[in-house]
Amino acid sequence: MTGSFVHLHNHTEYSMLDGAAKISPMLAEAQRLGMSAIGMTDHGNMFGASEFYNACTEAGIKPIIGVEAYVAPGSRFDSRRVFWGDPAQKGDDVSGSGSYTHLTMIAENAAGLRNLFKLTSLASFEGQLGKWSRMDAELIAEHAGGIIATTGCPPVRCRPGCGSARTGRRWSRPPGGGRSSARTTISWS
């Protein structure tokens, strides 16, 4: 069983107010468990990507780099909040106070890594709302190449009662990418 399991969704100290794992001890634990690879998907940023890549390479572990992105419920330029839970039960809201949902994205190759850097940078410049650097369907569609997206967190536009938060937008990588449609297509409908 050694080497057959890989954690893809890990937050490091670069996940502001959420991650506590320092990269070196995390890699030491991965080595102890016999993992041949490990993922880093910090919240909304790629600040630790270079340190993570270099430390993994030095440790002989394959780095899998991604981000747990903040996705705006509509346009990244729009500051209106969209609440997804029952209004009578404020605790039901799963959307960062109506500001975002999460989408975990992993770089499949160098092009995907470049696209993740572009997405997180543009989210910071264009989609900032409070402390969240948000991207939207339009931005992701422009830079989707080489990225594998997962529904790593439940609030990714798939919860009951989404209502107006469903935009009907779709984006996908060009055909012929060699992956199943479940891994290459992201759909909001």
Instruction: Name the superfamily (CATH) of residues 23-187.
Output: Metal-dependent hydrolases (3.20.20.140)
88 pLDDT tier (thresholds 50, 70, 90): low
Distance CA 50, CA 61 (A): 14
d(CA 95, CA 100): 5
Digit-coded pLDDT (tens) for 116-128? 999 999 999 998 8
Q: Torsions phi, psi of 105, nearest 5?
A: -125, 135
User: Over 80: is that where the pLDDT of 189 sits?
Assistant: no
Mean pLDDT, residues 103-110:
95
Model confidence at 96, pLDDT cuts 50, 70, 90, reads low
pLDDT at 133 over 70: yes
Average pLDDT, the chain: 78
Task: Write the burial class of residue 21 (CB in 10 Å: 0-12 exposed, 13-18 middle, 19+ buried).
Answer: middle
Structure tokens at 31: 């080595």
Domain limits, the chain: 23-187
pLDDT digits (tens, 9 = 90+) for 55-74: 999 999 999 999 999 888 88
Please give the share of the chain, as a percent, with pLDDT higher than 70.
Answer: 69
pLDDT band (50, 70, 90) for residue 37: very high
Q: Is the pLDDT of residue 48 over 80?
A: yes
* pLDDT for residue 135 is more than 90: yes
Do 55 and 143 contact (CB within 8 A), yes or no? no
pLDDT of 78: 82
Nearest to 186 by CA among 87, 117, 119, 95: 119
Q: Residue 185: which pLDDT band, with cuts at 50, 70 and 90?
A: very low
Q: How confident is the model over 19-31, as pLDDT tens digits?
A: 789 999 999 999 9
Q: What is the pLDDT of residue 90?
A: 58
Residue 95: the pLDDT is 58
Q: What is the pLDDT of residue 179?
A: 42
- Residues 96-122 as b/e (b if ≥16 CB within 10 A, e otherwise) read bebbbbbbbbbbbeeebbebbbebbeb
